[in-house]
Amino acid sequence: MSTFPIEGGCTCRTVRYRMTSPPLIVHCCHCRWCQRDGGASFALNAMIEAERVELLSGEPDIIVTPSLSGKGQRISRCPKCRIAVWSNYAGSGDRFRFVRVGTLDTPDALPPDVHIFTMSKQPWVVLAPDVPAVEAFYDREKLWPEASLARWRAARSTGVG
């Protein structure tokens, strides 16, 4: 894991941000929605409290896209190069951002903590045996470290988003 804060941004560098602390968890999502949205075999997202993501430059456009839940997701994209830098899901509201790990200056700093929706993973993707993997989603209370759970509870109690 990298030393924080850690910075990232879009390809053209119009939108730049800083994560001020480690994320709560890093999901490697293999669902078909993520595959379609990113044009790749999975999406790697670092879930973190929105207040711990500082916008350094630019102002992302927010695009609402469909999701499996039917509630949609809000994807924050650079207005120039259209790269997605993070998402907000309806279930988490504005309290949490799902930062696209590939937009970090050092994306190798945040490997996945869990593989989710492996029921639809591409058959040629080989998962590391030491990283938890679930067919759909998981029980947060059983998987997350206590420190992440405490931060999640504190953010949920703010009533924002």
pLDDT tens for 115-142 read: 999 999 999 999 999 999 999 999 999 9
Mean of all residue pLDDT scores within the chain: 93
Look up the CATH architecture of domain 6-156.
Beta Complex (2.170)
Q: What's the CA gap between 10 and 91, in Å, rounded?
A: 25
Q: What's the CA gap between 2 and 4, in Å, rounded?
A: 6
Candidate from 9-13, 27-31, 32-36, 124-128 with smallest mean pLDDT? 32-36
Query: Residue 151 carries which DSSP code?
Result: H
Mean pLDDT of all residues in 79-83 = 98
Amino acid letter, 85: V
The DSSP annotation for 95-109 comes to SEEEEEGGGBSSGGG
Angle at 73 between CA 72 and CA 79, to 5 degrees: 130
pLDDT band with cut points at 50, 70 and 90 for residue 158:
confident
Task: Give 159 or 156, the one with higher predicted confidence.
Answer: 156
What pLDDT is recorded for position 154? 94
What pLDDT is recorded for position 37? 86
Q: What's the CA gap between 14 and 63, in Å, rounded?
A: 17
